[in-house]
Amino acid sequence: MEAPPDALSRDSPTIRAVKDITFGSIAGMVSKVFEHPFDLTKVRLQSQVLDSAARFSGPIDCLTKTWKHEGIRGLYRGLPAPIVGAMVENASLFLVYGELQSVIRRVSGRPLSQDPSLPQLALAAAGAGMFTSFLLTPIELVKCKMQVQMLVTPTSTTAKLPGPISVLVSVIRSTGLRGLWLGHTGTLIRETGGTAAWFSTKEFIARLLVARRRRENDGKPLPLTSSGAVQLHPWESALSGACAGAAFNLALFPADTVKSAMQTEEELRPTKASVGGKPIPKASFFGTAKAMYRAQGIRGLYAGCGITVARSIPSSAIIFLIYDGLSKHFA
């Protein structure tokens, strides 16, 4: 039996926030362990677009050479930073996404018993992505720098390389706190547009699956969660999440490519810091994008896109499977 409107959200705002943070963090952490070798491959392919000679011919070549020369530790190089990043990203995304939905409901006068429209969900998701980009950029900067360490210092796999804290401190010493947000424009574009595509695609597919289940159930009420949404079967969460993962990365992938190139520029293509005592300004987001386009055209801006979409499909399925599963279990 469907719950009455006043019972659709029995959780207090504080409890909902704690759940969003906790469930989002767990889902992000698990998915990141699965996808990290593929993310490392993506970053390395993106970072070589401006090189005079490519180190890798493609994703398989990159994975093979990384395994051969660096072993399992190489495939998971820089993992601590993205683990933290995934926890921060997913916790903030789900938290802010939920809160912005509440704001939109109040502004539009939409009752709790009525689902927000897809454009409203996309707006809430875009806001969540914009907020998260400010938290995520410093973490991704450290991650990307660590993921190209062995390309700069091709020593034995047992060599001691700087860890995430050392890399973080080095960035602050050389560029100040502001330097931690190098490449933020790319992260902002990717997270704002990508997150809108991510959540709205997930919701769109989920609604299609729920409508299908209602038809098969002869229109009888379906079990609800504490927030009033229809409970999804695990396979429905996974399928809608998988589609969302592909949509996220296909939406604005070139922004991520430019961001990765900017964040690894100092390691892979170091230049003089100054000329005649005057500091040389770092290339801007759009300046880097133009240089990458001149170097390899559209292909260069989509370097690593194939493997990124391939890994994002199961990774995003895992995120929503865990998040929806935990939400259902602790409803």
User: CA 163 → CA 8, 35, 81, 168, 322, distances in Å?
Assistant: 47, 20, 9, 9, 30
Which CATH fold would you assign to the domain 12-269+297-329? Mitochondrial carrier fold (1.50.40)
pLDDT in tens, 243-256: 999 999 998 999 99
Structure tokens at 258: 């430019």
pLDDT-derived band at 316, boundaries 50, 70, 90: very high
Q: How far apart are CA 152 and CA 160, in angstroms?
A: 13
For residue 17, the model assigns a pLDDT of: 84
| Selection from 93-107, 259-273, 276-290 with the highest mean pLDDT | 93-107
Using the predicted structure, report yes or no on whether residue 72 has a pLDDT greater than 50. yes
Domain boundaries, the chain: 12-269+297-329
For residue 7, the model assigns a pLDDT of: 36
- Strand segments, DSSP code E, in the chain are 274-275, 278-279
For residue 147, the model assigns a pLDDT of: 83
For residue 194, the model assigns a pLDDT of: 95
pLDDT in tens, 9-33: 456 778 888 888 899 899 988 988 8
User: CA 178 → CA 76, 264, 272, 275, distances in Å?
Assistant: 28, 16, 20, 22
| Residue 263 CB neighbours (<10 A) | 27
109-120: average pLDDT: 81
Q: Contact at 8 Å (CB) between 228 and 3?
A: yes
pLDDT-derived band at 320, boundaries 50, 70, 90: very high
* Cα torsion 304, 307, 311, 313: sign: positive
Using the predicted structure, report yes or no on whether residue 276 has a pLDDT greater than 90. no
For residue 2, the model assigns a pLDDT of: 35
pLDDT in tens, 125-158: 999 999 999 999 999 999 899 888 777 765 544 4
- Give the residue carrying structure tokens 């398989």: 60
Using the predicted structure, report yes or no on whether residue 193 has a pLDDT greater than 90. yes
